[in-house]
Structure 1
Amino acid sequence: MILFFGTRSGKKETKTLSNVSCPYCSQTGTLKAVLQSNYVHLFWIPIFKIGVSKYAECSHCKRVYYKEEFTPEMERELN
């Protein structure tokens, strides 16, 4: 019997952070956050979530912020 077991990324969810200003260029409403869950799967069927990847990008200055760099204001807007 062959088992196909592994990890795979889920769908990307994009959210605009409209009330948050970019720490680099100070423009408000230009940040877009992307959330992507990672799943353990068996036979290409997701079984359970093992983590979430988060990052935000400013559409004005093109600066990318990873979840370790999120300000408390960004975290509050995402939750």
Structure 2
Amino acid sequence: MILFFGTRPGKTEIKKLPGVSCPHCDQKDTLTASISSNFFHVFWIKLFKISKHVIVECSYCKRAYYKEEFTEEMERVLESDL
């Protein structure tokens, strides 16, 4: 019997962060979060989530923020949406 298993990325979600200002350029309502997840699968059927990566980018100054660089305000808005 052949068993196909492994990991694959899921669809990337794009969410705006309303009311949050960019720490670099101080522009408000310009931050967008990209949320991507990796799943474990068997026979191409997703079974459970392995990891989740969140990157926030400012559309004004193009500065990207990783999880370690999030402000409390960013984390609060992201947690309320998820």
- The runs of at least 4 consecutive aligned structure 1 residues that moved more than 3 Å come to none
1:25 is displaced (CA, Å) by: 0.6
Which has more strand, going by share of residues? Answer: 1
Residue type of the alignment partner of 1:25 = C
Instruction: Give the match for residue 12 of structure 1.
Output: 12
Q: Normalized against structure 2, the TM-score is what? A: 0.91
Please say if 1:55 is aligned against 2:60.
no
- CA RMSD across the alignment: 0.8
Percent identity reads: 62
Cα distance in 1, alignment partners of residues 37 and 17 from structure 2: 19
Residue type of the alignment partner of 2:12 = K
**Unpaired runs of at least 5, structure 1:** none
**Unpaired runs of at least 5, structure 2:** none
Cα distance in 1, alignment partners of residues 26 and 4 from structure 2: 47
Q: Normalized against structure 1, the TM-score is what? A: 0.94
Please say if 1:75 is aligned against 2:71.
no
Structure 1 counterpart SS, 2:21: coil
1:41 is displaced (CA, Å) by: 0.5
Instruction: Give the match for residue 31 of structure 2.
Output: 31
